[in-house]
Chains A and B, each alone.
Chain A
Amino acid sequence: QKEVEQDPGPLSVPEGAIVSLNCTYSNSAFQYFMWYRQYSRKGPELLMYTYSSGNKEDGRFTAQVDKSSKYISLFIRDSQPSDSATYLCAMSLNAGGTSYGKLTFGQGTILTVHP
């Protein structure tokens, strides 16, 4: 079993739709949760960063973390064709020790928003 599971999709939605992307994880020690966006042939770009459980909103993006269920989500409201990309969830352990610098990624979900 992978430490972080993410449905690779692909996911195709019409412009203006609400997109829901999800990851589950098995390691209860993960404390920091991130979402990255990666355009084709480019490097990952940090979208959202959340510590522990709760919600965080930034413009059209909302990140949710439910540590009791080991489940994280990213919601994109009013999706645009420019949102078409691969979305990667990532997690890291609590502060302290050498493991603090290591991110564990999901496989990534390919999203296409069509006009």
Chain B
Amino acid sequence: NAGVMQNPRHLVRRRGQEARLRCSPMKGHSHVYWYRQLPEEGLKFMVYLQKENIIDESGMPKERFSAEFPKEGPSILRIQQVVRGDSAAYFCASSLLQGNTEAFFGQGTRLTVV
């Protein structure tokens, strides 16, 4: 049973480009969460999605960031017009039931903006 799969593992983008980060949850899991980990900081919640619905996006920056979890396919975190401050590790987690108490994390995507 594969775990949470994130790709790419490493992504380099120039300032102003778009970054697309993908997350395939564990089989049977319909709840997905995105977190960002900046250097020397803990993980910060960004967004919580269920299939075709955004449940809680209180941690998402108001501009340039969007997330989706379509009926078919992986969840996508999209960052438009990236800036150097977006450089971070982005982690996706999934859970079987509502709530993050027993969520499983992926290996993360490390975004570097040059």
Contacts and interface: CB of A to CB of B under 8 A. Distances in A.
A46 B103 contact: yes
Nearest to A4: B42
B45 A44 contact: no
Contacts, number: 72
Contacts of A44: 43, 91, 105
B52 interface: no
Contact of A92 (B35, B55, B99, B105): B99
B65 interface: no
Interface residues of B, number: 29
B102 A49 contact: yes
Nearest to A44: B105
B44 interface: yes
Contacts of B98: 100-101
A43 B36 CA distance: 11
Interface stretch (A52-60, A70-78, A103-111): A103-111
A105 to B, nearest CB: 4
B69 interface: no
Interface residues of A, number: 29
Given A102-B45, A105-B42, A105-B44, A46 B104 contact: yes
Contact of A108 (B35, B42, B56, B102): B42
A41 to B, nearest CB: 8
Contacts of B1: none
A45 interface: yes
Most A CB contacts (10 A, CB to CB) among B6, B99, B103 go to B99
Contacts of B59: 102
B56 A102 contact: yes
A88 interface: yes
B81 interface: no
A62 interface: no
B31 interface: yes
Interface of A: 4, 6, 8, 32, 34, 36, 41-46, 49, 51, 88, 90, 92, 95, 98-108
